[in-house]
């Protein structure tokens, strides 16, 4: 069995229909457990007080905003190389979800940053590159809407995705590239001195798992919708030709 068999729309629809109930249930379990544990059963931080609990929304959202673009990069490359329509539609489906995660990360970061830094926004390297990533999401979505020919739209948005990947990587590693800036280092690290305390770490892992499952659920649902829309458009075009 080849992985490319799942690029067939019919096979994708069958497989995704079987997966969706399980990944949806995983989303609810992980998010409910992680958020309740994190918000109600963890202590306040000795420096940041209760504001530290924004970490359970901010970190998973920021992580998924970057990884959503990386997923779009992979599916865009598959489209450019293999010309599988499901991969292009999956990238298109993921863009609004990634943009939403980006906005959640920016808003929660501002709410977290104001009491810690004394300002809602700073032109910090990571914040700036993250804002630019959000603009790339907007441009990607607008480009899909602006072009009527689906294959041409898929080609141009795939190229845009390649360019925007630079800012996705900068958003992840800007703190490592530049020492200046207000943003702290990574909340999750192999270095125990940088990693968050275990009391915050385990509920945070559950929240991240929940956001990953939520992303998969929404991408599957939106990709299935995109396939149905493409089928309807094909039927309408055939009727006009008849």
Q: Which of 30-39, 136-145, 182-191 has the lowest mean pLDDT?
A: 182-191
Q: Alpha helices of the chain — where are they, by DSSP H?
A: 9-40, 55-82, 85-117, 125-146, 150-177, 198-241
Quick check: is 122 in a domain? yes
Mean pLDDT value across the chain: 85
- Please give the pLDDT value at position 164: 84
- Please give the pLDDT value at position 191: 45
Q: What is the pLDDT of residues 175-228, one digit of tens each?
A: 555 555 555 555 555 444 455 666 788 899 999 999 999 999 999 999 999 999
- Please give the pLDDT value at position 63: 92
Quick check: is 1 in a domain? no
- Please give the pLDDT value at position 135: 92
Q: How far apart are CA 118 and CA 21, in angstroms?
A: 44
How much of the chain exceeds pLDDT 90, in percent? 54
Quick check: is 8 in a domain? no
- Please give the pLDDT value at position 94: 96
Bridge partners of residue 45, in order along the sequence: 49
pLDDT surpasses 80 at 4: no
- Please give the pLDDT value at position 194: 54
Quick check: is 3 in a domain? no
CATH of the domain at 90: 1.20.120
Q: What is the pLDDT of residues 97-121, one digit of tens each?
A: 999 999 999 999 888 877 777 777 7
Helix, strand, or coil here: 118?
A: coil
Q: What is the pLDDT of residues 46-79, one digit of tens each?
A: 666 677 889 999 999 999 999 999 999 999 999 9
Contact yes or no for 61/101 (Cβ under 8 A): yes
Quick check: is 146 in a domain? yes
Q: How far apart are CA 38 and CA 59, in angstroms?
A: 13
Rounded to the nearest 5 degrees, what angle is found at the Cα of 15, between the Cα atoms of 11 and 17?
Answer: 120
Quick check: is 188 in a domain? yes
Quick check: is 9 in a domain? no
Q: How confident is the model at residue 168 (pLDDT cuts 50, 70, 90)?
A: confident
- The reply to whether the predicted model has a pTM over 0.85 is yes
User: Which residue range(s) make up the domain with 56?
Assistant: 19-237
pLDDT surpasses 80 at 242: no
- Please give the pLDDT value at position 97: 97
* Chain centre to alpha carbon of residue 137: 10
- Please give the pLDDT value at position 230: 87
Number of domains comprising the chain: 1
Phi, psi of 49 (to 5 degrees): 65, -145
């Amino acid at each position: 069995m080849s992985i490319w068999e799942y690029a067939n729309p019919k096979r994708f629809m069958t497989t995704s229909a079987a997966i969706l109930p399980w990944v949806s249930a995983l989303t609810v379990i992980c998010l409910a457990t992680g958020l309740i544990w994190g918000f109600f059963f963890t202590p306040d931080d000795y420096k940041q007080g209760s504001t530290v609990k924004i970490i359970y929304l901010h970190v998973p959202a920021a992580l998924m905003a970057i990884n959503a673009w990386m997923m779009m990069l992979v599916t865009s490359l598959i489209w450019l190389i293999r010309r599988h329509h499901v991969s292009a539609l999956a990238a298109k489906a993921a863009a609004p979800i990634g943009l939403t995660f980006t906005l959640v990360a920016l808003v929660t970061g501002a709410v977290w940053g104001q009491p810690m830094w004394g300002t809602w926004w700073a032109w910090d390297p990571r914040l700036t590159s993250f804002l630019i990533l959000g603009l790339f999401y907007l441009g990607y979505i607008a480009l899909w809407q602006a072009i009527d020919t689906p294959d041409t739209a898929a080609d141009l948005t795939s190229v845009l995705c390649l360019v925007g990947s630079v800012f996705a990587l900068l958003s992840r590693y800007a703190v490592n590239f530049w020492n200046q800036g207000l943003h702290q280092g990574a909340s999750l690290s192999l270095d125990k001195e940088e990693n968050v305390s275990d009391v915050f770490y385990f509920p945070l892992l559950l929240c991240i798992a929940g956001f990953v499952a939520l992303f998969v659920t929404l991408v599957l649902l939106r990709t299935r919708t995109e396939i149905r829309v493409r089928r309807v458009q094909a039927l309408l075009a055939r009727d006009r030709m008849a």
